[in-house]
Amino acid sequence: MKILVCISHVPDTTSKINFTDGDTKLDTNGVQFVINPNDEFGLTRAMWFKEKQGASVDVINVGGPETEPTLRKALAIGADSAIRVNTPATDGFAVAKQLANVVKDGGYDLVIAGRESIDYNGAMVPGMLAELIGANFVTNCISLEVDGTNAKAVREIDGGKETVSTSLPLVIGGQKGLVEESDLRIPNMRGIMQARQKPLNVVEPVEATKETTTVKFEKPEPKGAVKMVSPDNLDELVSLLHNEAKVI
């Protein structure tokens, strides 16, 4: 089985988000970039397929050279090789189009992406990719088993979960549950050394027109100060929630 794991290069959750150039660009100053958490659960599940079922695992990112350390980290975790499509990620559709081209050429059976990235939160790339290549698609996926060309997946739904049967080729929008937090791997020294020798292929983009354009960013209004209520005066809290916040 040939697996491709899509790796988004995103600011760490604890990063302060600021913008430059008249609020049109993310200020990357002092921002730590990481593998998108939803993708990391998928990558770890892919490692399981590699170790237990002999799958090969490549990782891919669409972006400039600045994303390569994130791909190297995925190699250090255990992926066999990496692909970087050398073009800025402009919008979800353009990224899906680039991925579709690589998936078709590479003959991948299973593509695992995160349900969404934690920067743009679009939740659209995996579905668009599946539709572009004519593969089956399951998102919010919290469990995945593959047997030959058949797959069983569990999707988290509002208020519960749903078990589905499907087949390869398949695109997954993964999240926590594919593996547990405690299964995530921190690259060890051996992995990091090996990662330096593994191939990281830069491929040139195909033509893809973006469908949406970011005009500008805006930060939310600063929040007002918290109102403290004494634990001995919970009537006041009930009254505030009713009269002031109007939520009960």
Partner 1 sequence: MSVLVYTESEEGKFKKVAFEVASYAKAVADQMGTTVTAITINADDVSELGTYGVDKVLKVKDSKLDAFNAKIYADIIKQSAEKEGTKVVVVSSSADSKYLAPLLAVGLDAGYASNVVEAPTSASPFTVKRTAFTNKAFIFSTIDTDIKIVGVSKNAFGLKENSASAATEDFSPSIPENGVHVDSVDKATNTVTIADAEIVVSAGRGLKGPENWGMIEDLAEVLGAATACSKPVSDLGWRPHGEHVGQTGKPVAANLYIAIGISGAIQHLAGINASKVKVVINTDPEAPFFKAADYGVVGDAFEVVPKLTEKLKEFKAQNA
- Residue 235, Cα to own-chain centre: how many angstroms? 44
User: Which residues lie below 8 Å from residue 139, measured CB to CB, with a gap of 6+?
Assistant: 115, 123, 126, 127, 155, 172, 173
Range 194-223, binding partner 1 (CB under 8 A): 210-220, 223
Q: Which stretch binds partner 1 (CB under 8 A): 64-72, 73-81, 103-111, 123-131?
A: 123-131
Classify the phi-psi angles of 93: left when phi > 0, otherwise alpha if psi is within -120 to 50, otherwise beta: alpha
Our finding on whether 183 is near partner 1 (CB under 8 A) is no
Nearest residue to 111 via CA among 95, 127, 90, 123: 127
Cα distance between residue 89 and residue 95, in whole Å:
6
> Contact between 121 and partner 1 (CB under 8 A)?
yes
Residue from 60, 128, 146, 172 binding partner 1 (CB under 8 A): 128
83-102 positions binding partner 1, by CB under 8 A: 91-93, 96
Q: Is 126 among the residues that bind partner 1 (CB under 8 A)?
A: yes
Query: Interface residues for partner 1 in 24-53 (CB under 8 A)?
Result: 37-38, 41
Smallest separation, CB 81 to partner 1 (Å)? 27
Of 31, 15, 73, 42, which Cα lies nearest the Cα of 174?
42
How far apart are CB 4 and partner 1 at their closest, in Å?
A: 18
Map tokens 């009930």 to a residue.
Answer: 238
Q: How far is the CB of 82 from partner 1 (least distance, A)?
A: 24
